[in-house]
Structure 1
Amino acid sequence: MVESSSVLTPAFSTNLVEQNQELTFNTQQSVETNVLPGINDDMTPLISANTGNSITTVTNLTDLNNVNEPPLKKTKSNNSPENKQRLLEDRLGGILSCCICLDLSNLPMYQCINGHLMCGHCFSHLLADGKLKDELTTCPNCRCEINKSNCSRNLAVEKAISELPIVCEYCLNTFLRYEIKVHQNQFCTDRPTVCDYNLIGCSWQGAYHNLESHLGVCHYPSKTGMQLLDTLKEKKQIIDDEKKCLETVVDLLSLNQIGVSDLILKPFRTDDFVAKLYFETSRFTCLSFQWCVRARINDNTPHPQLTMNRTLSYQLVLKSKITQTIDLKFFILRGPHGDLQAIKPVIYSFEFSPNHTETEYLKLSISPAECNKLLSSTSISFRLLMVQVERNKE
């Protein structure tokens, strides 16, 4: 009997080794593609493939994953000191801003009895609206009553706002609020400016850092006097008008018949179906006659509380009976205790007669913001100068 031989032929042995290698490669590839994320790193050996003389063992999924993947990059943290400081400034800006316009203002900051902040402009506007509508003025947040007696300035808030940053509107750099005015007026290289030869007619306007290059090509210095004559005449006319106004005031103050009265305009309302607000002074004596002054808002146009641009105009009324004409010149100035800050004196003339005892309404040369400030006051104080001019001395 012939025994079976256990010796393999060389060709069969080579074929078996190639099959074992192929099986090992397929097993490893299957493990790499089927690894699930989130499996613990300390797992026990997952796969052991034993085929003939070749053994492939996968012992750690973490090592397997790190074969072809780079390490994860760290994300940038937003908790840097600069970001924290910026977030703090933003939060403070929201806390210290005006509750009406929601802006950080360099104006005085007022607060109601519950501490809600209002800038000076919005505070005056609220009080003016309440007076125009004949309603009680209330805080827009808590609806408590607000007026100039129960609302006070918050100096701590004003100082805190001055330490907060602000962006320059010209160069877009950041400065502290108490520095921004000096920077924009003196040091900002992008601040708007005019040509040095503006007085003789050059109309160039631009950034300050471009001024030097403009002066190098400006042709106004090379112009002759005849070419600049028209421009000089216009400038001279403006100066002459200002000089004439000043000389007129001086001449009027040198006359004999002159009267100076410090007056107070008090608010009243008409008896119409829709009551309108107007102001009037008490009767006063000046130049041996009795007078009064009336004032109205927006020339009595309806619903002045719905507009932002408000004006104040006044008229002079003669209360005494006269038999002959009175040639009068008058103008209004800021009194010693008045609320008018910047008012340009405008001299008006009128001939009072028995049939003409009231002047037309004349507008005060004040801004809408100044008008709101006057309307928010309980009374308006001013000084009236009246000069009686004799015809033969005019």
Structure 2
Amino acid sequence: MGRLDCDVLVIGGGIVGLSTAHALAGLAPGTRVVVLEKEDGPARHQTGRNSGVIHSGIYYKPGSLKARFAVRGAAEMVKFCTEHGIPHEVTGKLIVATERDELPRLHALVQRGRENGIPVRELGPTQISEYEPEVRGLAAIHVGTTGIVDYGRVAQQLAESSGAEIVYGGAVELISRRASGVAVRTSSGVVVRARVLVNCAGLQCDRIARLAGDDPQMRILPFRGEYYDLARPDLVRGLVYPVPDPAFPFLGVHLTRGIGGGVHVGPNAVPALAREGYGWGVVRPRDLADELAWPGSWRMAARHWRYGAGEVRRSLSKAAFVEAVRRLLPAVRAEDLVPAAAGVRAQAVLRDGALVDDFLIREGERTVHVLNAPSPAATASLPIGREIAGRALKSLRSA
């Protein structure tokens, strides 16, 4: 059994946890930092299983943490990738209205983008074709600051440059609060004693908070996002999104040209039967029991069952998924969509059934818990890492 001592212990080796460790090295050189990650490498879950988009911040309510961190984070992410030789591209994207009832929401996005300081250009049908010849719509907006990157590569670079000791291959089993700090034991037998604990455990963050003796006042409900690869990538030049429904923290099925030249189509958003359930066949009774025991799950289901039924239909029926894609890209055929790896989103849900739409960070004695890190968490990882690191250092000083 190994034992480690440190000033700050970060639980979770995704992009938010690694950005926090990276920020601690910059804000307080000499701070001893340990990162615990239960997998055998970084970014194995949400970070490594997304669309790879550098978001502009156009969707987010002005003044919210998401808006502030996304706008700043997009510029910082491009700079970070440039400095470290990580392939990336600022592609811009289209948000396309295909139905008349979407036009007011599209115009609202224009206003929101301008309030957030994001340059947007309004387009008519002919101008849409100039950007994307195969895409059809009544109107669109072009957002020039959106980009693409491989966030797995970014996370690996953050791990290498953080100066932290990163311990892979052991899940946290026990957290003990002591007068001098916290002690953590993992399934691999490692024991870490730290003065401050930072919980960036993503899909497991509420459980880690409860292990630490803090009430998170929320539960994580996992939503699986299923993707296809486009067999005819020449149909799409860049990034194409539908107009999102503001009632949900999901952006809808979109088309994303990746760094490697392929085009991802998706994701939908269906309830997963396990926190790391990347297919319908992955079922974990403990995860299901947690979901069913939380009152917010039932209240959310009662409120949004119609939306959820549509998502499940698109998951079980490829024809329904194709129909959704063809609203934007009429030329696509069923045989053009090849199944690709899915992702799972950690969505915080409150007791009243509300889907938490912004970053949620709560602090306890010697603890900082990141309880909701929604999209654009990867885009915003550098500034959000500094925010979390600042809170950890404040706790360290007071301790």
* TM-score above 0.5: no
TM-score where L is the length of structure 2: 0.19
Query: Higher Cα Rg: structure 1 or 2?
Result: 1
Instruction: Work out which structure has the larger RCO, using CA pairs closer than 8 Å and 6 or more positions apart in sequence.
Output: 2
Which structure shows the higher strand fraction?
2
